[in-house]
A and B are shown apart, each in its own frame.
Chain A
Amino acid sequence: MNKIKIRINDIVCRGEKGQTVLEIAKDNGIYIPTLCNYEGIKPQGSCRICTCMIGGRMMTACTTPALDGMDIVTNSDELEKFRATIVELLFAEGNHFCPTCERSGNCELQALGYRYKMMVPQFPYSFAAKDIDADNPKIMIDHNRCILCKRCIRRKKEKDNPNWFVFKKRGAKVQINIDHELTADFTDKLAQQAMDTCPVGAIIRKEKGFDVPIGERKYDKNPIGSDIEGLKE
């Protein structure tokens, strides 16, 4: 008996033992926003965007294994406010100049800003001194846009790839570092994969960009999560 039943927002959802709350919600057409989570990579639950009320406690849906009979709330006003605050904090902490970003329109952080109708973050912008690493021939890393979700680092670990990306420094100064020796012969395909893994525009493929016109980009017409909710036009 591997089938289990859980209640999400008072709807009975069916799944299998071993699935996380997030996976079951997705299979049942309920969208829970995520940022640090990426399909196919072991979840780490660091961004807290997917926080839900699970059995009356705030827990991350991406890391919590579903158990038979669980009672979960994903969309209360409190949770939505909590998530909007995380998005605002990320916008205030980094230097997210959307008009100049190649990822604009396809950016998950920006899409969450749209979803939560963020007009302005309630926090002051930090304008922290961060630089750009453009030494690699295929990709560049813009630390201004990085939200430290670690998706690039975790992805290569899962696929037994070499350590292309690593964390360097500690605490507030931590940043993604690219190994220039290992990535010297990066192919276009690997560069595209690295860019696709990044939820924001921190990893950008060189000599390519802005190839989808404004109005046709991923989140121009459809809010993030609308494909899961089945609302797609």
Chain B
Amino acid sequence: MSKKIVATTSLAGCFGCHMSLLDIDERILDLIELVEFNKSPIDDIKTFTKQCDIGIIEGGCCNSENVHVLKDFRKNCKILISVGECAIMGGLPAMRNNNASITECLEEAYLNCVSVQANEEKIIPNDEELPMILDKVYPCHEIVKIDYFLPGCAPRADLIWNALVALVTGNEMDLPYEVIKFD
């Protein structure tokens, strides 16, 4: 059996879900026997070099670059998995969705916050090289079709492991009570 190819990315997330993936401890050696990593921060491959079987998405979409990467993943991966609260519902970045406008957020970050010290010209970064910030933070499944969801902040290592093993071997997933958590 040829190895399944896995790609991962972190959009508007904190890399905690990637840390949780690494938290499978010595099982990472078994994982390497089962899968091959393509585009991923883990092996630092920046662009897709071939079609992948499984795409693991951490984080929601808060700017145009996130949307671009997510659509690229949808094009290049047969199965996409939203991993963690941020990918599933926007998570902490989405706390700006309900009450603050994008202007308020930028002004707070670059002008009004007590820790702003050296911005005398009152500049809010607006270079055309920078990705555009979206009006709100979107869960991944509102941008592209997502096939599976693994909740948690971060999802328990066992949940990610069980899901990957189930997908790679084609067996039903083991879902004990302790592994499904929203925090």
Contact = CB atoms under 8 A, between A and B. Distances in A.
B99 A119 contact: no
A125 B89 contact: yes
B47 interface: no
A198 to B, nearest CB: 18
B164 to A, nearest CB: 16
Given A95-B98, A114-B180, A117-B175, A100 B92 contact: yes
Nearest to A105: B183
A100 B90 CA distance: 13
* Secondary structure class of chain A's binding surface, majority of residues: loop
Contact of A113 (B99, B153, B182): B182
A211 to B, nearest CB: 15
Contacts of A58: none
Interface stretch (B29-37, B61-69, B115-123, B136-144): B136-144
Given A98-B183, A99-B91, A223-B177, A119 B153 contact: no
Contacts of A118: 151
Interface string A197-233: 0000000000000000010000011110000000000
A174 interface: no
> Looking at chain B, what size class is its interface with the partner chain?
20 to 34
Interface in B67-120: 82, 85, 88-92, 94-95, 97-99
Contacts of A97: 85, 89, 91-92, 94-95
Nearest to A132: B99
A164 to B, nearest CB: 25
A120 B82 contact: yes
A98 B95 CA distance: 11
> Looking at chain A, what size class is its interface with the partner chain?
20 to 34
Contacts of B99: 129-131
A68 B160 CA distance: 50
B44 to A, nearest CB: 28
Interface of B: 82, 85, 88-92, 94-95, 97-99, 136, 139, 141-142, 148-151, 153, 175, 177-178, 180-183
15 contacts: A97-B92, A99-B85, A99-B91, A99-B153, A99-B183, A104-B183, A113-B182, A114-B182, A120-B149, A124-B142, A125-B94, A127-B90, A128-B98, A144-B98, A214-B183
Interface of A: 95, 97-101, 104-105, 110, 113-114, 117-120, 124-125, 127-131, 144, 214, 220-223
